[in-house]
Structure 1
């Protein structure tokens, strides 16, 4: 699996995947809808899968002495690696933001604990919809991306809006009290991400087994 993942990073991944993964640094930009960062992650993954389609990467991988489920697993690991790397890249910039831009984010949610909980939720949605849909054909990346993008955009927009209501101002807070209240959101987001990613893998393997390459 390590060799397959290495192949994915060196040969199958489009350069845009690495560029959009680095978009986690955008949390340092003032007055910006930070939820867009997670949509950029999905866009980078989509472009990479589309690039793999054009270069017949799935077919090439299937010709290797590996099982069909290993082909799916390597793609899923690439997606998870890109998402977790984006998350890790954003963390130091989110910390520096609290030091340099302490006035909050007038556009939407602040880069705080609730924000990262939302991020894991958006990642979970993307993986659960995009991966199984793509592996129904191992070809139609555009359809899979659109189906995943719609609910992601709706949820991201709702979160960016709801923090402007007084009853939900604590979701936008960065003091210790608000951050502690936001912890359950982060925990639930992580759990949903793990469960959704595992389920996405199982569904993708099931779908890909039916594909005649």
Structure 2
């Protein structure tokens, strides 16, 4: 048996035998699904706007934008983690292929937010950096 077969067997075991395990199905936190990836992209977009964008506004003050980003990210992650506990929003925490159209839509929303906010942040950072006298 090749070592790759051992790895393949472990992955298949986890994905099939343990897929209905209570650790995955009854987790109080968000499941690792497409909405989770979209939410992560949202938080990365916040980083680009708040931290990177603010750096090019001042070019030397890093502490304040970093703390602001941490607070904003913490709040948004809290919102994302809590969403599936609200009535009618349980589908955002779907597992596997359950509510796959919703999951794909939420992922695409995260991708579009990340790309759009990063582009706008880039444009603003370019304009701000031109004004700085180093």
Q: Which consecutive aligned stretches of 4+ in structure 1 deviate over 3 angstroms post-superposition? A: none
1:109 aligns with 2:109: no
Aligned residue number for residue 162 of structure 1: 83
1:128 aligns with 2:128: no
Report if the CA contact (8 A) 1:136-1:207 is conserved: yes
Aligned residue number for residue 172 of structure 1: 93
Q: Give TM-score, length-normalised by structure 2.
A: 0.76
Aligned residue number for residue 191 of structure 1: 112
Higher relative contact order structure (alpha carbons within 8 Å, sequence separation ≥ 6) = 2
Report if the CA contact (8 A) 2:33-2:96 is conserved: no
Q: Gaps spanning 5+ residues in structure 1: where?
A: 1-94
Deviation at 1:179, TM superposition (A): 2.5
CA pair 154-101 structure 1, distance change in 2 beyond 3 A: farther
CA pair 171-101 structure 1, distance change in 2 beyond 3 A: farther
CA pair 122-101 structure 1, distance change in 2 beyond 3 A: farther
Report if the CA contact (8 A) 1:129-1:148 is conserved: yes
Secondary structure of the residue that 2:85 maps to in structure 1? coil
Q: Among 53, 62, 70, which residue is 1:149 paired with? A: 70
CA pair 170-126 structure 1, distance change in 2 beyond 3 A: same
User: What's the C-alpha RMSD, in Å, of the aligned pairs?
Assistant: 2.1
Aligned residue number for residue 206 of structure 1: 127
Name the larger-Rg structure.
2
Q: Give TM-score, length-normalised by structure 1.
A: 0.50
Decide which structure has greater helix share. Answer: 1
